[in-house]
Amino acid sequence: MADVVRFTKNSSATLKARKGFSLKDSDPDSTPGYDGDKNAGEELLADLDDNLAQLQEQLFAGSRFGSTRRILLILQAMDTAGKGGIVTHVMGSMNPQGVQLKSFKAPTPEEKSYDFLWRIEKEAPAAGMVGVFDRSHYEDVLIHRVHSWASPEELERRYTAINDFEARQTAAGTTIVKVMLNISRDEQKERLLARLDDPAKLWKYSSNDLKERAFWTDYMDAYQAAFDKTSSKAAPWHVVPANKKWYARVAVQQLLLEALEGLKLQWPVPDLDVGMERELVERS
């Protein structure tokens, strides 16, 4: 078997929305950092599942010995972009006990009665966990901006609040990985049609998706504004081209691996006399 085709070493550097980044210039069909094809990508994904699972277990193990390190993956995208697939295929290799997944829906009346970060704070990952936000506090500066549910001043307040919130999480031990899955308008059309054509996918179709689709350009502007306002050094945005589902999965897996490797995790060594414990077990 041929060697597995590897991703470029610096996935975060490759996919980061730097100062001056323009979403318009990002090609949803491209595969930055990766030269392999679909088969190679799927092979790489499977090949690295065990690495990811082990790093996650080390992160979890560390928390049992006082480490406060944790990961928070924030996934944002237009409908049908493949957030669910990322959760299943990338997170699926990890031990479910160490993954804290939260899908944020439209806020309930109770949630609406608080500041927008109230419901977010409650779902921040615990020490040792890999948290995943499927949608997030960014909805409050995306859909709210698109439909003018918040004034320009209120949006500014929220950008600032988000930066402060994320800076605090980071300072408390969280590595934040922010990902926007970037699909094209045409690709979304194909995926909506595919939902209508497949009885196993039809239940996911909502005519509401079509309503939001009509605001495509406004959404792209709102994403661009979010990148401009909240792509901080501690918690930069990554824009992952997502017309090719396999590439998006490979890329997000790489971002997670890089984040975890950056923590230089080790298996914790409990403070016990292994020889003596072994004797006690033998005698028990």
In the complex, which residues of this chain contact a copy of itself (CB under 8 A)? 54, 57, 61, 64-65, 84, 87-88, 91-93, 95-97, 99, 101, 103, 134, 189, 192-193, 196, 199-200, 202-205, 207, 210, 213-214, 267-270, 272, 274, 277-278, 280-282, 284
Min separation Cβ 189 and a copy of itself, Å: 6
Could you tell me the maximum CA-CA distance found in the chain, to the nearest angstrom? 72
Min separation Cβ 132 and a copy of itself, Å: 8
What is the CB neighbour count within 10 angstroms for residue 214?
9
Min separation Cβ 228 and a copy of itself, Å: 28
Smaller CB distance to a copy of itself: residue 13 or 210?
Answer: 210
Q: Which two tokens stand for residue 196?
A: 């209508």
CB under 8 Å to 24, separation ≥6 — which residues? 220, 224
Min separation Cβ 241 and a copy of itself, Å: 22
Smaller CB distance to a copy of itself: residue 132 or 239?
Answer: 132
Smaller CB distance to a copy of itself: residue 79 or 166?
Answer: 79
Smaller CB distance to a copy of itself: residue 91 or 143?
Answer: 91
Min separation Cβ 224 and a copy of itself, Å: 22
Smaller CB distance to a copy of itself: residue 134 or 166?
Answer: 134
Smaller CB distance to a copy of itself: residue 146 or 155?
Answer: 146
Min separation Cβ 89 and a copy of itself, Å: 10
Min separation Cβ 101 and a copy of itself, Å: 5
d(CA 243, CA 249): 11
Smaller CB distance to a copy of itself: residue 162 or 177?
Answer: 177
Smaller CB distance to a copy of itself: residue 8 or 95?
Answer: 95
Min separation Cβ 37 and a copy of itself, Å: 24
d(CA 57, CA 129): 9
How far is residue 226 from each of residues 6, 11, 88, measured CA to CA in Å?
Answer: 31, 21, 26
